[in-house]
Amino acid sequence: MQKSKKESRFINREISWLSFNERVLQEADDERNPLLQRVRFLGIFSNNLDEFFRVRVATMKRLVDIGKDSKVILGDVTPQDVLDQIQDTVIKLQLRFREIYQKLLRELDKVGVHVIDELQLDTIQGEFAREYFTNELSPLMVPIMLSRDKSFPYLKDKAIYLAVKMSVEGKPKRNKYAVVEVPVGNNPRFVVLPKRKGLESDTYIIIVDDIIRYSLDDIFFMFEYDKIEAYTIKITRDAELDIDDDISMSFMEKMAISLKRRNIGQPVRLVYDERMPVDLFKFITKQMDLGEEDNLIPGGIYHNFKDFIKFPSVDAYLEVQNPPALPHKDVDDHSSIMKVLRKKDILLHYPYQTFNHFIDLLREAAVDPYVTSISITLYRVAERSKVINALNNAAKNGKKVTVLIELLARFDEKANLKWSEKLQESGVRVIHGVPGLKVHSKIALIHRKESGRVRSYAYIGTGNFHEGTANIYCDEGLFTTNRQITAEVTKVFEFLKHNYRRFNYRHLVVSPYSMRKQFMQLITNEIRNAKNGKPAYIDIKLNNLVDQGMVNHLYSASKAGVKIRLIIRGICSLKPGVKGMSENIEGISIVDKYLEHSRFVVFGNAGDEIFYITSADWMTRNLDHRVEVACPVYDDDIKKELRAMFDIQWSDNTKARILDSEQKNDYKKTRAVKEHRAQIEYYDYLKNLK
């Protein structure tokens, strides 16, 4: 069937996301990366795919289940069309994944790191494995016998199970089936084995699954069988939260109940060892009432490859050697951050520069006798959050502390409930979001009495207040005392405290009220400049570009002659370089050792460039259904830093892939003799700033 003209204008967001995850898989296959980093990229790919099924595939299945056959997101496709395409794409990616995994095992062997299974253990290692099973694993295991006469046991989301078959030769009716969960919640997935005599320089590692396979006789010794075998299975469940509408309960109570329900969500995928005997496979799928429409994905011996993110660090030379985070050139270990900010704005570029400067600002504010209040929005924080500690200390020191903590931050809901309680115990005023809107902005505000008036210190960022991810996510954080900006950050917090209040903003761009309109107008301004023969261009760096209205307006700008360059890490529904539609648009995506997460936009403005950093991607949810903040950059030095970042990234010919309508993920090649790797070059740029 011929595709409609409208459909051909866009790439479906789900398929574009799978293309992004393919770029992650490419990093596992890139021999320029250290070997253990490549292994961990397999873990990142697997973890990404798990979340994709738990959220996006679950959403598509819900639409199918309720019989909704309308167009989905972009293009003239039904939810079932999308699910079918996802299934085909995922199976291809899984095959590629297994090829790369086997290749990495061979390369690890060459450098003396051997991942072995239960059949390759020598005598000493076998004794060690048996003892490890007895002491560490056996007390945690609960094998469950399976029968057609009783209901199939509930399999937890994200857990790993071994489906066990016990058979008596020539007597299939006496076959017995069982299932046992692999206990890796608080236990390592990998176990380093004793050295082998004569090979003391080599390292031997076994996956816990294989220790259990080695010890199956110890688990099922009471049964009669000639052969016992075990095959890995993993179920992925719908992770969407259904919030109860009972008005008698608080939102926190509703969240707690909803989180418990998540644990029993509907299955959206079953991944299984393709070597599994047909009778065992049919028994499991029938008892679980699963069919082909439930995404039955054949796989290898092992699942939950996300655990490979924590593959043992056996040799430093096989690891990524990241340089230490830099201090900002205007801040030293003994600087008062607020004193520096009274002189000039600063922009921190994480992870190249240290997040400790923000922690130091909070700590300083917590004890400064002239600081009266601190306000902040929290979406995700570290497990042992220094940010939370500083806010608690500030409240205990008599500061008025207000924290908006977003309870609907996906997969961090439980942690945020816990933090809410701890903050309230310290006397912090905690706000739980805005009805109907998720608060995704990254802002903080400090009020300090100075010379008879109150001076405001504001922080506007592109990433979370999370010292852990700040070590691996590329983000921007603007510190400013600019009165125009701080006054409007104050307005945002007033809105968050009192949702009935509405404000006008002349400097900040705030969704859901003005962001779409403001960026549309700025694009229109570039179209006007192009038609008037003036220089017209837009440089856009985002995680995701999906919103149909924004994409269509960029197409219009391209037709008018506006030169547009895109650096999009993840989903890109726009098709660059299509004749008659987007020939003035080019796009790249960078996947490297750090996660590209910063978001900023530059408008040419006839030679007087306009810069915005933003917490929002150009997705409908961010523009219309979330509280997001974009902030103009007025400082000329900071503008130069952002301009340098974009230009350095655009010149990347090592880790940049070309974004095109076919989603081929070809590496960007240039005529430059020198290799340019943006993440290394930008670190050097900041290091040499004077």
User: What CATH number is given to the structural domain containing 4?
Assistant: 1.20.58.310
pLDDT tens per residue, range 23-71:
999 999 999 999 999 999 999 999 999 999 988 888 888 888 776 555 5
- What crossing angle do the helices spanning 413-425 and 386-396 adopt, rounded to 10°? 20
State CA 374 to chain mean position distance: 28
CA 353 – CA 477 distance, rounded (Å)? 10
8 Å CB contact between 619 and 546:
yes
Same domain, 653 and 677: yes
- pLDDT score, position 256: 54
- Nearest Cα neighbor of 633 from 492, 478, 487 is 478
- pLDDT score, position 76: 63
- pLDDT score, position 562: 98
pLDDT higher than 80, residue 234: yes
The residue ranking higher by pLDDT, 22 or 294, is 22
Number of H-type helices and E-type strands within the chain: 19, 26
CA 463 – CA 62 distance, rounded (Å)? 31
- pLDDT score, position 575: 97
Same domain, 179 and 301: yes
- What crossing angle do the helices spanning 636-650 and 678-687 adopt, rounded to 10°? 150
Helix (H) / strand (E) element for 443: namely: strand 443-450
Beta bridge partners of 439: 627
* Boundaries of domain holding 635: 509-687
pLDDT tens per residue, range 274-293:
999 999 999 999 999 988 77
- pLDDT score, position 184: 82
User: What CATH number is given to the structural domain containing 393?
Assistant: 3.30.870.10
Give the single-character DSSP code of 308: G
Is residue 665 packed enough to be buried (19+ CB in 10 Å), middle (13-18) or exposed (0-12)?
middle
- CA-to-CA separations, 582 to 181, 538, 557, 661, in angstroms, rounded: 52, 13, 9, 11
pLDDT tens per residue, range 438-480:
999 999 999 999 999 999 999 999 999 999 999 999 999 999 9
Does residue 408 lie in a domain region? yes
Does residue 315 lie in a domain region? no
- Nearest Cα neighbor of 504 from 521, 479, 522, 487 is 487
Helix (H) / strand (E) element for 235: namely: strand 227-237
Does residue 145 lie in a domain region? yes
In the numeric block, the tokens 């290091």 are attached to 687
In the numeric block, the tokens 């006789």 are attached to 217
Number of domains observed in the structure of the chain: 4
pLDDT higher than 80, residue 687: yes
Res. 3 pLDDT band, cuts 50 70 90: very low
Residue 328: active-site member: no
The tokens for 373 are 């209040």
The tokens for 687 are 């290091």
CA 282 – CA 396 distance, rounded (Å)? 61
Does residue 320 lie in a domain region? no
pLDDT tens per residue, range 104-148:
999 999 999 999 999 999 999 999 999 999 999 999 999 999 998
pLDDT higher than 70, residue 5: no
User: What CATH number is given to the structural domain containing 291?
Assistant: 3.30.1840.10
pLDDT tens per residue, range 337-378:
999 999 999 999 999 999 999 999 999 999 999 999 999 999
pLDDT tens per residue, range 539-559:
999 999 999 999 999 999 999
Residues listed for the chain: 690
8 Å CB contact between 685 and 644:
yes
- Structural domain ending residue among the three candidates 91, 108, 125: 108
- Structural domain ending residue among the three candidates 474, 497, 520: 497
CA 674 – CA 439 distance, rounded (Å)? 43
pLDDT tens per residue, range 572-596:
999 999 999 999 999 999 999 999 9
What is the helix, strand, coil percentage profile of the chain, to 5?
40, 20, 40
pLDDT higher than 80, residue 423: yes
- pLDDT score, position 314: 87
Same domain, 390 and 447: yes
Same domain, 427 and 391: yes
CA 632 – CA 506 distance, rounded (Å)? 10
Give the single-character DSSP code of 73: S
- CA-to-CA separations, 606 to 232, 525, 528, 554, in angstroms, rounded: 60, 9, 10, 17
- pLDDT score, position 253: 53
pLDDT higher than 70, residue 259: no
Same domain, 188 and 209: yes
Same domain, 26 and 140: no
What is the average pLDDT across 228-242? 83
Cis peptide before 512 (omega within 30 of 0): yes
Same domain, 104 and 236: no
In the numeric block, the tokens 């900041």 are attached to 686
Q: Which residue among 328, 349, 357, 440 is the active-site one?
A: 440
What is the average pLDDT across 592-605? 97
Same domain, 207 and 288: yes
The residue ranking higher by pLDDT, 198 or 569, is 569
Same domain, 470 and 586: no
Q: Which long-range contacts (CB under 8 A, 24 or more apart) does 25-34 make?
A: 25/93, 25/96, 25/97, 25/100, 26/591, 26/657, 26/665, 27/591, 27/592, 28/100, 28/104, 29/100, 29/103, 32/654, 33/320, 33/593, 34/317, 34/318, 34/319, 34/320, 34/321
Same domain, 461 and 401: yes
| End-to-end CA separation in angstroms for the chain | 61
The CA-based diameter of the chain, rounded to the nearest angstrom, is: 93
- pLDDT score, position 68: 53
Does residue 316 lie in a domain region? no
- pLDDT score, position 61: 84
Cβ-proximal residues to 364 (8 Å cutoff; 6+ apart), any chain: 336, 337, 338
Res. 4 pLDDT band, cuts 50 70 90: very low
pLDDT higher than 50, residue 17: yes
The residue ranking higher by pLDDT, 490 or 502, is 490
Determine how β-strand 144-146 pairs with β-strand 176-181: antiparallel
CA 41 – CA 304 distance, rounded (Å)? 13
**Count of other CB atoms within 10 angstroms of residue 148:** 9
CA 516 – CA 623 distance, rounded (Å)? 6
**Count of other CB atoms within 10 angstroms of residue 129:** 24
- pLDDT score, position 649: 98
Cβ-proximal residues to 418 (8 Å cutoff; 6+ apart), any chain: none
The tokens for 112 are 């003396």
Kindly state the percentage of the chain with pLDDT values over 90: 78
Is residue 212 packed enough to be buried (19+ CB in 10 Å), middle (13-18) or exposed (0-12)?
buried
Does residue 317 lie in a domain region? no
Question: How confident is the prediction for the chain on average, in pLDDT?
Answer: 91
The residue ranking higher by pLDDT, 8 or 584, is 584
Does residue 331 lie in a domain region? no
Same domain, 35 and 170: no
- Nearest Cα neighbor of 291 from 64, 17, 92 is 64
What is the average pLDDT across 370-391? 97
Cβ-proximal residues to 320 (8 Å cutoff; 6+ apart), any chain: 33, 34, 37, 593
pLDDT higher than 80, residue 262: no
- pLDDT score, position 252: 52
- Structural domain ending residue among the three candidates 464, 497, 530: 497
pLDDT higher than 60, residue 245: no
Same domain, 47 and 159: no
Does residue 343 lie in a domain region? yes
